[in-house]
A = this chain, B = another copy of it.
Amino acid sequence: MGFCDGKVVDIHTHMYPPEYVKILESRTSIPLVRSFPGSSDPRLILLDTEVPILEEAEAAKARGETPTNIPGRPLTKHYSSLDQKMHFMETHEIDISVVSLANPWLDFLSASEAGPIAESINADFSRMCEEKCGRLFFFAALPLTASQEVILSSIAHVSSLPYCRGVILGTSGLGKGLDDPDLLPIFQALADARLIIFLHPHYGLPNEVWGPRAQENYGHVLPLALGFPMETTIAVTRMYLAGVFDQVPQLNMLLAHSGGTLPFLAGRIESCILHDGHLHAAGTKPKKTIWEVLSSQVYLDAVVYSDVGLKAAVAASGPEGHERLMFGTDHPFFPPLGSDEEGEWESVTWNGAAVRKAFGEDAEGVKVQKVMGGNAVKVLNLRRDGCR
Contacts and interface: CB of A to CB of B under 8 A. Distances in A.
Copies of this chain present: 2
Contact of A218 (B218, B258, B274, B279): B279
Interface in A307-337: 307-309, 311-312, 315-316, 334-337
A150 interface: no
A7 interface: no
Contacts of A234: 209-210, 222, 226
Q: Which of A179, A267, A338, A347 has the most CB of B within 10 A?
A: A267
A214 interface: yes
**Which of A213, A225, A336 has its CB near the most chain B CB atoms (within 10 A)?**
A225
B304 A308 contact: no
Contacts of A80: none
A234 B218 CA distance: 12
Between A218, A269, A307, the greatest number of chain B beta carbons within 10 A of the residue's beta carbon is seen for A218
A213 B257 contact: no
Contact of A217 (B221, B242, B265): B242
Contacts of A267: 304-306, 308-309, 350, 354
Interface in A254-306: 257-258, 261, 263-280, 284, 304-306
A12 B152 CA distance: 50
A118 to B, nearest CB: 24
A268 B304 contact: yes
A147 interface: no
A159 interface: no
B305 A270 contact: yes
How extensive is the interface on chain A, given as a class? 35 or more
Interface in A205-244: 205-206, 208-214, 217-222, 224-226, 229-230, 233-234, 237-238, 241-242
Contact of A277 (B73, B179, B308): B73
Contact of A278 (B220, B346, B350): B220
Contact of A312 (B269, B277, B308): B308
A73 to B, nearest CB: 7
A383 interface: no
A252 to B, nearest CB: 21
A315 B304 contact: no
Contacts of A157: none
Contacts of A261: 229-230, 233, 261, 264-265
Given A206-B208, A268-B306, A275-B336, 8 more contacts: A222-B234, A225-B237, A263-B308, A266-B308, A266-B309, A267-B354, A274-B347, A275-B337
Nearest first, the 3 closest Cβ-Cβ pairs linking A and B are A267-B306, A219-B278, A267-B305
